[in-house]
Amino acid sequence: MNKIKVLIIDDSAVVRQVLTQIINTHPKMEVCAAAQDPIFAVRYMEKQWPDVIILDVEMPRMDGITFLRKIMAEHPTPVVMCSSLTEKKADTTLQALSLGAVDIVTKPKLGIKGFLSESADEITHAILAASQSKIRLCPPSMTENAQKLTADAILSLPHGGAMAQTTERIVAIGSSTGGTTALEKILTQLPRVSPGIVIVQHMPVTFTGAFAARLNSLCEMEVVEAQGDETILPGHVYVAPGDKHLLVNRSGALYKIELKDGPLVSRHKPSVDVLFRSVARYAGKNAMGIILTGMGDDGARGLKEMRDAGSITLGECEKSCIVYGMPKEAMKRGAVSKELSLAQFPSAILDYYHAHS
């Protein structure tokens, strides 16, 4: 199998060195070049075009956003943004995702070498997902064999049906690679009079708050990063923070949000499996579950538990997915009652809500 060729563009020599070591250690990828800014990178790209680009945000001579816009217009290529954990960088990096970047890896201001080394799995996972994205022809599916925890680590399996009937209806959505764009396309089409929505989008801490704020500026619904203990209200969207599991529970006739720390589940925190299991337990047939684009299988088990509990369960179809991984695994497990294109989800959500209101 040909290795995934990765181009690193970052003005930090330490970052280039550590990323090169991480990537070249992985059996399925290799660094084809490492450049200190986009101007130097173009020289390498003229000789050999990479499969995936890891791109810094702020660099001399040409910033990452300008370069990304140029690449996507002239020669669309999977790009993973490498950004610092700051609010300012979060806003800029979200702009990059809207321009076509497929994922984010983070770096701190200090201790970069140690941090990047500890994040090796996250980095290589992002590169694998990017290499499979539909920005260009995708290589065969690649998965990693590392053992991973299930939602049992956070919440035990539901026993019997959900709690007593209530008139409240909620929607739970899980997504990963390509999900920021998918969620924006869905949520911006929903009116204020819509069901309460809870979301797990795989995204680093700090970025989830900026993502929620961006959506809030674009949507009629009110979008916030979940803080914990909120009542899930119609017309509101709650995005899981990037370092906590988000669960739904019941308080009387109302649904509430609970945030929990804990281990990674299905290699993620927050985990879609954890969200979906909690919805299966406490909402059952009063909920709709949606699994969108993303690599891996997080959410597949939980969505099956939702379907078994009586929830309506939908998956994004292969044609509209950036990465048809999570929905595909959910289909394999019999978790998805119907697949829809991205454009069909807003009407499906509204039809479900109005049919039961």
Peptide bond into 158 cis (omega under 30): no
DSSP 44: H
Which of 131, 164, 189 marks a domain boundary? 131
Q: Say which residue, 43 or 154, is predicted with more confidence.
A: 43
**Rounded distance, CA 87 to CA 251, Å?**
34
Same domain for 208 and 72: no
Q: Provide the domain count of the chain.
A: 2
Same domain for 268 and 310: yes
DSSP 11: S
Give the predicted TM-score (pTM) of the model.
Answer: 0.86
The token pair that represents 315 in the structure block = 């998956």
pLDDT, position 136: 44
**Span 289-308, average pLDDT:** 97
Q: Nearest CA to 335 among 308, 295, 316, 298?
A: 308
CATH assignment at residue 294: 3.40.50.180
Asked about 84 being catalytic, the answer comes back as no
Same domain for 304 and 159: yes
CATH assignment at residue 122: 3.40.50.2300
Asked about 75 being catalytic, the answer comes back as no
Same domain for 351 and 217: yes
**Residue 155 maps to a domain:** yes
Asked about 202 being catalytic, the answer comes back as yes
Q: Say which residue, 294 or 90, is predicted with more confidence.
A: 294
**Residue 139 maps to a domain:** no
**Span 156-181, average pLDDT:** 76
**Rounded distance, CA 180 to CA 323, Å?**
13
**Residue 136 maps to a domain:** no
Instruction: Choose the catalytic residue: 245, 298, 311, 320.
Output: 298
Same domain for 233 and 104: no
**Residue 145 maps to a domain:** no
70: which residues sit within 8 A by CB, 6+ positions away? none
Rounded to the nearest integer, the mean pLDDT of the chain is 89
Same domain for 250 and 177: yes
Same domain for 305 and 162: yes
Same domain for 109 and 65: yes
Same domain for 195 and 336: yes
Instruction: Choose the catalytic residue: 176, 194, 266, 278.
Output: 176
pLDDT, tens digit, for every residue of 211-236?
999 999 999 999 999 999 999 999 99
**Rounded distance, CA 353 to CA 195, Å?**
6
**Span 164-190, average pLDDT:** 90
**Residue 144 maps to a domain:** no
Same domain for 213 and 331: yes
Tell me if 80 sits within 8 A of 101, measured CB to CB: yes
pLDDT at 160 > cutoff 70: no
The token pair that represents 235 in the structure block = 């017309």
pLDDT, position 154: 62
Which of 131, 166, 184 marks a domain boundary? 131
The token pair that represents 274 in the structure block = 């954890």
Q: Nearest CA to 104 among 219, 13, 17, 181?
A: 181
**What does 61-118 look like in DSSP terms, one character per residue?**
SS-HHHHHHHHHHHS---EEEEEESSHHHHHHHHHHHHHT--EEEEE-SS-HHHHHHH
**Residue 45 maps to a domain:** yes
Query: Which residue has 């590392």 as its token pair?
Result: 146
Instruction: Choose the catalytic residue: 37, 133, 194, 202.
Output: 202
Same domain for 163 and 121: no
Range of the domain at 40: 4-131
pLDDT, position 83: 84
**Rounded distance, CA 295 to CA 284, Å?**
26
| Backbone φ, ψ for residue 56 (5° rounding) | -70, 160
**Rounded distance, CA 109 to CA 237, Å?**
31
**Residue 98 maps to a domain:** yes
Same domain for 216 and 294: yes
Which of 84, 100, 131 marks a domain boundary? 131
